[in-house]
Amino acid sequence: MKTLIENFLHYLSVEKGLAENTRSSYELDLKSFFSFLETKSVSTINSVTRHDIVGYLLKLKKESKSTATSARHMAAIKSFFHFLLAEKIITEDPTANLETPKLAKVIPRVLSQEETALLLKQPDVQKDAGRRDKAMIELLYGTGMRVSELLNLNLQDINLDLGYLRCFGKGSKERIVPVGSFAGQAINEYLALSRAKLVKKNKESALFVNQRGKRLTRQGFWKILKEYARQAGIETVLTPHTLRHSVATHMLENGADLRAVQELLGHADITTTQIYTHLTNSRLKTVYDNCHPRAK
For the chain, give the number of residues.
Answer: 296
- Report yes or no: 153 and 165 within 8 Å, Cβ to Cβ: yes
Residues annotated as part of the active site: 146, 170, 241, 244, 267, 276
- CA dihedral sign, ordered 29, 220, 196, 165: positive
Cα 241–Cα 246–Cα 248 angle in degrees, nearest 5: 100
CA distances from 164 to 44, 139, 159, 186, 199 (A): 52, 11, 6, 14, 24
Distance separating alpha carbons of residues 11 and 3, to the nearest angstrom:
12
**Could you tell me which residues come within 8 angstroms of residue 81 by beta carbon, excluding any fewer than 6 positions away?**
48, 90, 93, 94, 95
DSSP character at residue 166:
E
Distance separating alpha carbons of residues 287 and 184, to the nearest angstrom:
34
CA distances from 95 to 83, 84, 139, 282 (A): 12, 12, 43, 38
Nearest CA among 227, 238, 240, 243 for reference residue 141: 243
Distance separating alpha carbons of residues 287 and 44, to the nearest angstrom:
60
**Could you tell me which residues come within 8 angstroms of residue 79 by beta carbon, excluding any fewer than 6 positions away?**
8, 12, 26
Indicate the SS3 state at residue 167.
Answer: strand
